[in-house]
Amino acid sequence: MNALQARLVQLANQAGRVASLATPSDPRSGSFDDSARARLRVLLAQRHHAACKDLPGVAIAPGVQLVETVDTVPLSGAELASGRLAIDPIGFSQLVFLDTETTGLAGGTGTKAFVVGLATLAPPQVRIRQWLLTRMAGEGALLHFVAEALPPDPVLVTYNGKSYDLPLLRTRYRMNRLREPFGDARHLDLLHPVRRRYRGIWPNCRLTTVETQLLGTPRVGDLPGSEAPAAWRRFLATGETDGVRRVLTHNARDLSSLAQVLCALNALD
């Protein structure tokens, strides 16, 4: 049994059927390989469809899943309307918290954002929208939906977004020949005020450390960001969704924490 046959048997068994893989009478004709490849494509499509149905959210385009959640956090509009970071009341409605999960941590043109999360505020609620790439071909559609979701003249809030998230996304828009939507958007990267105040005081300035030290809400059972690429590749290869679900939870927690960190920093003397 060759590799293609073995793969068909595996997929057919996963689908709950017994594969019939008789060898063709004339192996030189290539008809078996053509037929097997067609069957493999069908089985892969069926498995992909079943896996996506097991994910949270809804499929909004081929290869793109939208997940929407609402979190309640201890913040109010008044905390953002005044304070040391000076987010004026007009800009309050334009705040967009942004965080990505990517196929690698080194960046570069081969790195994709397979989750893009945006959050907006209606204190004390944080509305979170996450676009999950469920197959490679959906990247252009995902980027299109993210661009459409941004309000006019957004004020972006990230954590290390100036060095990582925004440059990566701009590259992906260019690679897909799409107009990148960020332009000259105002951008508040919270890593920098955290570093100015706490470098040398805390062991590091990672977001999880900020949550523990500043917010008093350490994470328990969180999927480390370094494991996110493997979880997504496992989903693509096997249809296993548990890891991707944990990635989405991790990303949503990042977005909620950004809103709380902004308020906490804003309230400091």
Predicted TM-score (pTM) of the model is 0.81
The CB-side HSE value for 93 (13 A sphere, CA atoms) comes to 3
- Give start and end residues of each alpha helix (H) in 54-129: 77-81, 89-92
Domain ranges of the chain: 3-48, 59-267
**Residue in this structure with the two tokens 């328990």, named with its chain if needed:** 220
Per-residue pLDDT of the chain (269 residues; tens, 9 = 90+): 566 556 555 655 655 543 444 444 455 555 557 776 666 555 555 566 667 888 999 999 999 999 999 998 876 655 555 555 555 544 567 889 999 999 987 666 789 999 999 999 887 889 999 999 999 999 999 999 999 999 888 999 999 999 999 999 999 999 999 999 998 899 999 999 999 999 999 999 999 999 999 999 999 889 988 899 999 999 999 999 999 999 999 999 999 999 999 888 877 75
**Residue in this structure with the two tokens 């997504």, named with its chain if needed:** 232
Distance, CA of 44 to CA of 251 (rounded, Å):
28
Q: Which of 71, 213, 268 lies closest to 204 in space, CA to CA?
A: 213
Q: Are 155 and 96 in contact (CB under 8 A)?
A: yes
Q: Are 119 and 128 in contact (CB under 8 A)?
A: yes
Residue 199 gets which letter from DSSP? B
At 235, which helix (H) or strand (E)? Answer: helix 228-238
Distance, CA of 162 to CA of 140 (rounded, Å):
22
- State residue 38's pLDDT score: 66
Distance, CA of 99 to CA of 157 (rounded, Å):
9
At 17, the amino acid letter reads R
Identify the CATH class of 59-267: alpha beta
- State residue 212's pLDDT score: 95
What are the φ/ψ torsions at residue 17 (nearest 5 degrees)? Answer: -125, 160
- State residue 13's pLDDT score: 61
Distance, CA of 153 to CA of 114 (rounded, Å):
25
